Structure 1
Amino acid sequence: MQQLIEAVLHHADEQAVLQQLIQTLSRSNQRYFLKNEIIHAFADYCHEARKPAHFFHSSHLGTLIQYSHELLLEEDCIWLLLRPWIGGQQIWCLDSELTKAQVMPPKALLEARDRFVGRAQDQLFEIDVTPFYEHTPKVDDPRNIGQGLAFLNRYLSSQVLNDRSYWLETLFDVLHRHHYDGIPLLINDQIESGEQLAEQIRQAIQILKSKASDESYQSVHAELQPLGFEPGWGNTVERVRGMMELVDQMVNMPQPAILEAFVARFPSVFRVALCSIHGWVGQDYLGRSETLGQVAYVLDQARSLDRKLQEEIHLAGLDMLNIQPQVVILTRLIPNCEGTQCDLPLEKVDDTNNTWILRVPFREFNSKITDNWISKFEIWGYLETFAIDAQSRLLEQLNGKPDLIIGNYSDGNLVASLIARQLNVTHCNIAHSLEKPKHLFSNLYWQELEPQYHFSAQFTADLISMNAADFIVTSSYQEIVGSPDTFGQYESYKCFTMPQLYHVINGIELFSPKFNRIPPGVDERVFFPYSEARSSEHRDRLTYLLFEQEASHILGKLADPSLTPILAISPLTAVKNLSGLVECFGRSPELQQRCNLILVTSKLSVDAAINADEAEEIEKIHRLIDYYQLHEHVRWIGERLSNPDLGEMYRSIADRRGIFVHFARFEAFGRVLLEAMVSGLPSFATEFGGTTEIIEDDKHGFLINPTDLDGSTRKILDFLDRAYADPNYWEQLSAKSIQRIHDEYNWQHHTRQLLLLTKLYSFWNYVHRESRESLLHYLDALFHLLYKPRAESILEEHQKI
């Protein structure tokens, strides 16, 4: 970057252009500019000055502008936040005359940001996790971020090769300590060292070679037990011998694939807890609109874990010990549950062997609050005591400690980290949709936003839980570090200020192997291709709802129901941008001539809105429908539908060769997109966020820019033209969409990887327990010094209600 900046400053023409650009920006009465604003201002200047195209794209200044993500103007200096590569940031300060440039530490930029909002303060608390990651291995290539499992396999294999004796003893120690409720698994006290383990493994393999492959483990247990071996190696001679050969190969010829195969068979996960606290967690009522996706995710994940754990225990030969896996979804009990089952302390999850929803009430600080649903922005004061109460209930329900505890969203992750810390169990962090990057400048203006959002507590909780986690699961690469043009959600926590509260010098190590991209799947019992057999009664009912039924919760009567349907299903939030899709449709007479727009939300009345943001989006959609006179072209269904009905809705649209449009301004992942695609609907999705990893443009679907209404319209019309010209085109794209989801986004793969990560990171943290313990002590301090005072202030407010 230094050479690039010097080239700009020492080139008279480029320096003059930069000076004029800065002057233009300063005249706008704005001093803080983000990437899009910087690029647009530069593009406008190049157009007005009639600069050639190569100057915008290829000059030194053009390149510098492309790397610039933030620009802050002060009287005597110009601050640039540059991002020369994904996951990397550099801070530069240029003097006002553009003669000198100096790279600056993060603290300097944070202080400048504080000055910008008029809240500069000396001696502010600083958060920096850098020292705790210095002695741990890091991913060296940004392209490999999110592949922590593969990285650790390679790293550990190389360590075994470099110091065989140490790692053999470590492996022995892990196996020797391994048990289930006091029952030894894999080895017993007959084996007393790593070298003896290696020797006994070789002897056992020779014995097993003389046995029939399909013989049960029970038939050879009497011969193997005197050698030091207990159940857990496999349920048949073939599987036992296979796992022992993996150990033998791992010790003598370590390779990543061998290590991964061994870890995958290692029977160490029997009890799992999933924490999802603030939503309405139930089977018949999947959360409120803001948490519907999260609750559906947790239930699907729990069901998949239930099936996979049953399978693993059987294949490990542990049926003879009568070991039964258990999965518990831990959430809060809501006394005023509005007709749902969220007031039941315990509920069995359908279609599972041993999976339960365990509901624990919040302590009654003020019954007017704690008896009712509490928004995710107001929940922070109750989580510490909830974690204490829930821990005892969880241990009672599981009849022991969980082997894995999974947090979901910010509140679930904080509770998971508190319980994991007390019980010393493996903690997986899953967030998917962090609030900080969704609200522009939310950290800078946290004091103004505090009464409504309480971001000071939430952002602090995020920092604690994401660093406390043994590993982090994301749905997409962009969730971690974004793209060349955008910051990732986790990346937004790396360096930021909360003026007059604290500075985050380094809040997360993005190159840590704890990050793992493992996308979820869909419930394929409910969401499946339109071409598969299904109930005609169900299909007819949903078709009637979509196109003909008249009711108070349905707006619009289609003049021509035979037109190509465009389906959009979404919560009513500004980010999901249904109003933008309505405007896009309303501005295009050609779209109205060829298509009908079908909107599906949980409500359509402003009176039913649960917050001001939702009410504003509902009102905006109504206003646009009236303005563009769309009542005969739009059907708006405001009804909470069950998952089976949603699945049939997608298929009913596919029956009519329709399309699905996801018009969000930003989408971290896009679960609804998976559902539409696996149903066979050609899909158009926002190009901003993780959807770009699901859809390869013009192959599995189409990416659109929701800020470019004309461009989005053209893309939809182009598809309709191609489908009209080639009767097979719609079917071909539909088939590719279905295959894409079946191949890459399924719960079987997700759960297999999740359990593999649990086993590997448990072993990894056992090896590096000393360095990890120092990090956890540091996070304890942040919890008590920063988080608790913010949470307690929320409780004080609630006591006054």
Structure 2
Amino acid sequence: MKRYDKKIYIVLISVHGLIRGHNLELGCDADTGGQTKYVVELARALGEHPDVEKVDLVTRRIVDPSVSDDYSQRFEKLSKNAQIVRIDCGEETYIPKEHLWDCLDNFADSILEYIKLQPEIPSIIHSHYADAGYVGTRLSHLLGIPLVHTGHSLGRSKRRQLLAAGYKREILEARYNITTRIEAEETTLGVAECVITSTSQEVFEQYAAYDHYQPERMRVVPPGTDLQQFFVPEGNEGSSSIATEIYRFLKDPEKPIILALSRPDPRKNILQLIAAYGESPELQQLANLVIISGNRGDISEMDDETQEVLQNILLHIDQYDLYGKVAYPKHHEQSEVAVIYRLAAMSKGVFINPALTEPFGLTLIEAAASGLPVVATEDGGPIDIIGNCQNGYLIDPLDREDIKSKLLDILSHQQQWEEFAQNGILGVRKHYSWQAHTEKFLKILHPLITSTVTTPPFHAKRRKQLHHDRALFTDLDQNLLGNPPALTTFIEALQANRKCVLFGIATGRRLDSAMQALKKHRIPMPNVLITGLGTEIYYNPNLVPDAAWELHIDYLWNPRIVRRALRELPGLKLQPRLEQGRFKVSYYIDPQIAPDIQHINKLLNQEGLAANVVLSFGQYLDVIPVRASKGLALRWVAERYEIPLERILAAGGSGADEDMMRGNMLAVVVANRHNEELSDLAHVDEIFFASRPFAEGILEAIELYNFFETCEIQET
């Protein structure tokens, strides 16, 4: 069998999920997410391309009365030259992807039998997700044809997120076969001639965790957007049911709409947007604010994090008295999202994504296709999207003035608005349509198909540890921010050793305040960010919150009892609501007239509440759960990353850092320390008291402990 000289035959493999060419059942379970939509639309678009002879999207055949009979049909036409081919794999009934591993060898053999019946062998195989990667690797070896792979999501990232959510390692193995998945991904990355990703962030942050990491074989091709669903206003959007739902909130619904659309997640930073709008009479005069933040029923019955975000949205609207100016509908259908974009575009409004970080930014593309200018975070995928489309502005999501000025600029200048709107429409067609996607995809495939020499095999160096050999944790304000030249030197030393050292920040600041400080002082994003005096833990990339830690520290915690027990004490004054947290009650303290810490602890104990009382800088007093502190959070993270405490360097300078430096860790107290609060540590021989302040003190400790030079991780 010879290959086509001109037109090509492509086999796409996507094993799991409910895959059909119409009425995709998206979101009905973990197997029916965006991947199923992506592979169907990719196959259809490729089948319509003049350079493509044939496309087979191969998936698992399912015969199960609980699902549609569509999934039992062996063939389904997608477009002129593309079809779905369903092949048996193990049991006929619907099986979650985690339990398909045992039948994948049979599946691969059955696909091989199908291919042998075709007039020509495929020009290339493109596998999707780890299970298809396993199958594609076997077929590539047997047929001697190139393999292209798209991971969609990765096992190492999944494991980190599930551990953060509180799953035990043995549960991960039993439920998710996570080690098997990661091994399949490693093998696929070692074999694949090319790996297709959606963003550069995937290449440099997610795939970099793998032994077979080969960035030179990776290509960024953003997914296409359905331009039949997302398009410019037709003029009748104002009579839709979702328009009625939105307009009922607004005194003047004719004003332009500032549209924010995201799930209720603190990382989406919607509160900062409301504050920026609430502090700007000009914005309120010019436009309405519309917040689409998921669907909600009774907020009090939702999970804690969602409940907190939604409650804070309502409280912020009330705080700034924005009634009649802000719409926040409870419900919308997925099919109405495109109408919402068009409503905003028809009003001459603007779409805003103020997230702290945004890996890709599909909503920006959808908004642009709808003729809506955009304003978006400068962290992540929006950089590429706005760079390609030239249809709006990047913002610092933690700078309210920046948010206000960029929104005002677009809303106040009609010619600029028109230019951005037109640029977005054209930019999406050029860079983010399915036609653009297939052109880029085929351009990548061409040299792989025509080459007579395969890429040399990649020899990976197996890492000795899952993540890093050691870790460095430091406070923010007292340790890093006081000496800019020393901070620059510290950052350079840290960056040179990031493959070896996990970098963590442990601070009393809120997440948004800590992020703002990191950006302002150009401190590299830490692998782990411990905020709120150890009450919150976030993992990068994407600032994934440690949900298991939240459940853990909720033990015996009742902030109402704290406030009641301490409300009559002299010398204590509650800090503003913004400084309070779900697991932190914060006061200003005047030590001259306030009782000592022992007395405060006694009062809390009398109320039956065990808590940690933390005094910082002689003027701040925080009460947090008994299971929370910087030191306890650090040890929790060390357990998650399997880093021995003896290989952790902890740096601090105030009373809030004390338990972070006690114990088996290497520790340094910088010279600009708060002497009175850390006086007890002077008697601990294992703790190094630096002679230099701020980052210089940390560098002094790194040299003393020979911390970087003894690293055991080798370059890969």
TM-score, structure 1 normalization: 0.48
Query: 2:421 aligned with 1:734, yes or no?
Result: yes
Distance in 2, matches of 1:715 and 1:442, equals: 35
Cα offset, 1:593, TM superposition: 6.2
2:534 corresponds in structure 1 to none
Distance in 2, matches of 1:285 and 1:305, equals: 19
Query: 2:73 aligned with 1:345, yes or no?
Result: yes
1:43 corresponds in structure 2 to none
2:435 corresponds, among 748, 752, 763, to 748
Query: 2:362 aligned with 1:671, yes or no?
Result: yes
Q: How does 1:355-374 map to 2 (within 5 A)?
A: 355-359=82-86, 363-364=90-91, 371=94, 374=96
Query: 2:11 aligned with 1:325, yes or no?
Result: no
Distance in 2, matches of 1:698 and 1:274, equals: 32
Amino acid at match of 1:489: Q
Residues 515 and 272 of structure 1: is their aligned pair in 2 closer, same or farther, counting only changes over 3 Å? same
Query: 2:14 aligned with 1:275, yes or no?
Result: yes
Cα offset, 1:655, TM superposition: 0.5
2:404 corresponds, among 696, 703, 717, to 717
1:585–1:592: 8 Å Cα contact kept in structure 2?
A: no
1:546 corresponds in structure 2 to 242
> In the TM superposition, what whole-angstrom CA distance separates every residue of 1:702-760 from its partner, at most 9, and x where no partner exists?
22344x1xx1x433421343245433221122122223323333333432332343342
1:566 corresponds in structure 2 to 258
Match of 2:223, SS state, is: coil
2:184 corresponds in structure 1 to 461
Cα offset, 1:592, TM superposition: 5.9
Amino acid at match of 2:404: L
Query: 2:213 aligned with 1:508, yes or no?
Result: yes
1:383–1:411: 8 Å Cα contact kept in structure 2?
A: yes
Residues 491 and 281 of structure 1: is their aligned pair in 2 closer, same or farther, counting only changes over 3 Å? farther
Cα offset, 1:439, TM superposition: 7.2
Residues 763 and 600 of structure 1: is their aligned pair in 2 closer, same or farther, counting only changes over 3 Å? same
Amino acid at match of 1:298: V
2:2 corresponds in structure 1 to 179
2:123–2:449: 8 Å Cα contact kept in structure 1?
A: no
Q: How does 1:479-628 map to 2 (within 5 A)?
A: 479-481=202-204, 488-493=205-210, 506-510=211-215, 512=216, 514-530=217-233, 534=234, 539-540=237-238, 544-549=240-245, 557-570=249-262, 572=263, 574=265, 577-578=267-268, 580-582=269-271, 584-585=273-274, 588-589=277-278, 590=280, 595-600=287-292, 603-605=295-297, 615-616=303-304, 618-628=306-316
Match of 2:48, SS state, is: helix
Distance in 1, matches of 2:307 and 2:75, equals: 38
Distance in 2, matches of 1:602 and 1:393, equals: 41
1:701 corresponds in structure 2 to 392
Residues 730 and 756 of structure 1: is their aligned pair in 2 closer, same or farther, counting only changes over 3 Å? closer
Q: What are the ranges of 5 or more consecutive residues in structure 1 without an aligned counterpart?
A: 1-177, 186-231, 233-265, 314-323, 482-487, 494-505, 779-801
Cα offset, 1:305, TM superposition: 0.5
Distance in 2, matches of 1:450 and 1:654, equals: 50
2:453 corresponds, among 746, 749, 767, to 767
Distance in 1, matches of 2:85 and 2:144, equals: 21
Match of 1:478, SS state, is: helix
Query: 2:24 aligned with 1:285, yes or no?
Result: yes
Match of 1:451, SS state, is: helix
Query: 2:681 aligned with 1:681, yes or no?
Result: no
Q: How does 1:66-215 map to 2 (within 5 A)?
A: 179=2
Distance in 1, matches of 2:17 and 2:94, equals: 13
Distance in 2, matches of 1:685 and 1:279, equals: 34
Distance in 2, matches of 1:606 and 1:690, equals: 34
Distance in 2, matches of 1:363 and 1:603, equals: 38
1:555–1:631: 8 Å Cα contact kept in structure 2?
A: no
Distance in 1, matches of 2:334 and 2:165, equals: 38
Match of 1:627, SS state, is: helix
Match of 1:636, SS state, is: coil
Query: 2:35 aligned with 1:294, yes or no?
Result: yes
1:271–1:325: 8 Å Cα contact kept in structure 2?
A: yes
Distance in 1, matches of 2:337 and 2:117, equals: 38
Match of 2:348, SS state, is: coil
Residues 442 and 526 of structure 1: is their aligned pair in 2 closer, same or farther, counting only changes over 3 Å? closer
Distance in 2, matches of 1:754 and 1:461, equals: 24
1:403 corresponds in structure 2 to 123
1:382 corresponds in structure 2 to 100
Match of 1:508, SS state, is: coil
2:61–2:72: 8 Å Cα contact kept in structure 1?
A: no
Residues 280 and 307 of structure 1: is their aligned pair in 2 closer, same or farther, counting only changes over 3 Å? closer
2:194 corresponds in structure 1 to 471
1:280–1:288: 8 Å Cα contact kept in structure 2?
A: no
2:270–2:313: 8 Å Cα contact kept in structure 1?
A: no
Aligned-pair RMSD on alpha carbons? 4.2
Cα offset, 1:392, TM superposition: 1.8
Distance in 2, matches of 1:659 and 1:394, equals: 51
2:445 corresponds in structure 1 to 758
1:696–1:702: 8 Å Cα contact kept in structure 2?
A: no
2:276–2:404: 8 Å Cα contact kept in structure 1?
A: no
Residues 294 and 545 of structure 1: is their aligned pair in 2 closer, same or farther, counting only changes over 3 Å? farther
1:413 corresponds in structure 2 to 133
1:33 corresponds in structure 2 to none
Query: 2:126 aligned with 1:392, yes or no?
Result: no
2:21–2:76: 8 Å Cα contact kept in structure 1?
A: no
Distance in 2, matches of 1:596 and 1:520, equals: 31
Distance in 2, matches of 1:608 and 1:641, equals: 24
Match of 2:240, SS state, is: helix
Distance in 1, matches of 2:421 and 2:62, equals: 42
Match of 2:260, SS state, is: strand
> In the TM superposition, what whole-angstrom CA distance separates every residue of 1:527-555 from its partner, at most 9, and x where no partner exists?
3334xxx4x55x35xx5333313xxxx99
